[in-house]
Amino acid sequence: MCPERIRLASIRCTATIAALALLPSAGVAQRPAYRDASVPIERRITDLLSRMTLEEKVAQMMCLWDQKKLITDSSGHFNPARAPQWFRVGIGRIERPQDGHDARGEAEFVNAIQRWVRDSTRLGIPILFNEEALHGLEAAGATSFPQAIALASTWNTDLVQRVFTATAAEARARGVHQVLAPVVDIAREPRWGTSPYEELDGYLADYADRRAGEIAADRAAYPEPDGSIGLADLAEEHFARLGELSPYFLERIGFVVRLEVDGPEGGRWDVRLGPDRVSVDRTGRSASPAYRIRVASRWLWPVLAGRTGWEDLFLSLRFSAARDPDVYNDYLVGLLKHADAAALAAVEEYEVLRDPDETVQVAAGDRRYEVSRYCPHAGEDLREGAVITGGVLRCLAHNFEFDLSSGACLNARCDPISVRPAEPAREIEPAR
């Protein structure tokens, strides 16, 4: 889920450290050490952190994404007079500053914000701006190179270096300091082509032997339930708490999730999440669970007990899952991942208050449509981030697909886009 659009960034202290490299050297006597580029970086960090209030430190852990309209006017230009109070102490990161801008517009947008932060906040800590750059900068007018797997297949590291040197130059020209791009490509693993192992099992067994110490420590940290945990009771309490966080999310889930728990204190439990209530059936009798999650009790109980989060479990891949019908529900993922009333309320506010009236024209063959400009899921600009195939519009941000005859989302639980035939007299702007 893309919560709120003010979310804790994964940069935390890194934002403060990286920002020091961007701080201007003030041309006045006795300037603070953190603003003096001649001072060793460690001293500058120490000096800056010593001056920051708790509020300013928290601000450096924040990120602004889809809610950039909070700090812009109707034309998308930065307007500090509109900025909410929390923005006035600074912020760590702003994502996708290119939204609604060409290259020059993005640079002007970034520069205006940086000047305001430098001159109008107490410490003048610059903001980190980031973009997507999977295979070139993902922005209007930027260069799109072959996909990452194609680049890796060249086995030409010098070529890849040149590609992303060009990408970095395009990003920096717009004021962007950081991009999200591939840093590991497992397809370059030589053993994929000349494996010394007869089977995958042999490779995994060898890997397990080499990592035996780490694996043992991890399993010791999360032992199997010993019969005293009451895992089924814990599940009921856990989901009862989740059910109190957001009626909005429950209404948009509205199905049964089956937990198939292996190991001590395991079982088959059907969790009904919405549309208006939450319950746990310990007998697992539902005829049609929409999602099935299979997991060992060793890994589930720390989640139910609050020691780890659902997102940690999902990222660990220590589970298997299936859904029927095969329709993705981001509200389920968001409820489990965030499990925080404030974050869920922020998502609800964003979705309820967004303006669906702004539209853009797209072409599907010889037919023209006027559709919502922004994807209902996460606000992607469909003028730039959509493709159309066979009467279906696909948002490239998260691959949500919408039927151009009805506007309905075909492959996920998502609000529809508005769709109507375009006026013949208006100029068409094909989706790219």
Q: Which two tokens stand for residue 184?
A: 């590991």
Residue 220 domain-assigned (yes or no): no
> 164 and 24, same structural domain?
yes
> 150 and 93, same structural domain?
yes
Residue 273 domain-assigned (yes or no): yes
User: Contact 367/22 with Cβ under 8 angstroms?
Assistant: no
> 172 and 39, same structural domain?
yes
Amino acid (1-letter code) at residue 296? A
Q: Which two tokens stand for residue 78?
A: 């930065």
> 358 and 264, same structural domain?
no
> 370 and 310, same structural domain?
no
Residue 221 domain-assigned (yes or no): no
Residue 138 domain-assigned (yes or no): yes
What value does the CA radius of gyration of the chain take, rounded to a whole number of Å? 25
Domain boundary among 148, 180, 212: 180
Residue 169 domain-assigned (yes or no): yes
> 312 and 363, same structural domain?
no
Domain that holds residue 392: 354-421
> 159 and 63, same structural domain?
yes
> 367 and 275, same structural domain?
no
Contact residues for 28 (Cβ-Cβ < 8 A; gap 6+): none
Q: Tens digits of per-residue pLDDT, 149-193?
A: 888 788 888 899 999 999 999 999 999 999 988 765 444 455 455
> 337 and 250, same structural domain?
yes
Residue 197 domain-assigned (yes or no): no
Domain boundary among 281, 313, 343: 343
Residue 188 domain-assigned (yes or no): no
Residue 62 main-chain phi, psi, to 5 deg: -100, 155
- Kindly report the CATH number assigned to the domain that includes residue 97: 3.20.20.300
Instruction: Report H helices in 197-245.
Output: 200-210, 212-221, 231-243
Residue 199 domain-assigned (yes or no): no
Total structural domains in the chain? Answer: 3
User: Which positions of the chain have pLDDT values less than 70?
Assistant: 1-29, 183-200, 356, 424-432
> 277 and 135, same structural domain?
no
Contact residues for 192 (Cβ-Cβ < 8 A; gap 6+): none
Domain boundary among 180, 215, 247: 180
Look at residue 224 in the predicted model and tell me its pLDDT.
Answer: 92
Look at residue 86 in the predicted model and tell me its pLDDT.
Answer: 81
> 133 and 10, same structural domain?
yes
- Kindly report the CATH number assigned to the domain that includes residue 380: 2.102.10.10
> 21 and 131, same structural domain?
yes
- Kindly report the CATH number assigned to the domain that includes residue 260: 3.30.1050.10
